[in-house]
Amino acid sequence: MSLTLYFAPGACSFVPHSMLELSGTAFEPHSVKLHKNEQRSPEYLAINPRGQVPVLVDDGQVITQIVAILLHLDAKLPEAGILPASGLARTRALQTLTWMNNTVHPTFTHVFMPDKFTDDEAAKQAIRAHAAKTYKGLLDEIEVMARQASPWMMGERPGALDAYALTLLRWGGFAGIDPTTQPATWDLAQRFAALAPVARAVEREKLVLNIYKPKA
């Protein structure tokens, strides 16, 4: 088995990155530095013409899109506990995962990259401000889930939802949201990051969990 993960430090690719580390499976990590536009290099576009991360290459087969990658890894590595194995628990986990990916994540994109949606400077500021307010409400929803974690969001084992919750909470700093104001999610994120396998991914990506900077 040959697995290669292309990830960008701090991006949503942290989710499969941490899952691969948790699984204990050998894989080759490749860092793609978005701030250097490496995702637009000819070499990377030959792998993923959309220029996005993450990308998983499994024995030469290229798999894109985070939910597809997680489902592929879950099927390939069922012992890793990436998602619940079956039943309503699996359905609920997929329900939350797709909401995180399809609702919360795109809301943050409006905060971080409003230029994707307009080239008008005033409109960019308005988009950013509105999205930041919306994003806070979405983090509040995750906070409710984190309060119910026992001890992890999917039960006894850490998995994909914990990794995504950490990522989304961390991004809140860019939206002017102090992660410590979401105490249950902040506790969950710190506990998850402290797990020895996850800590390897955190170190490789050089992640700082709290990037919030108060306004002067």
Sheet holding 61-64, edge to edge: 28-31, 3-7, 55-58, 61-64
Instruction: State the DSSP code for 180.
Output: G
Tally Cβ neighbours within 10 Å of residue 38: 17
Look up tokens 């984190």; give the residue: 146
Q: Could you give the 3-state DSSP secondary structure of residue 13?
A: coil
Identity of the amino acid at 96: T
Closest by CA to 23, choosing from 75, 80, 74, is 80
Model pLDDT, residue 214: 87
Regions in the chain scoring below 50 on pLDDT: none
**Measured distance CA(151)–CA(134) in Å, rounded:** 27
Model pLDDT, residue 79: 94
Model pLDDT, residue 1: 64
Model pLDDT, residue 170: 98
Residues 93-116: pLDDT tens digits? 999 999 999 999 999 999 999 999
* 112 backbone dihedrals φ, ψ, rounded to 5°: -85, -30
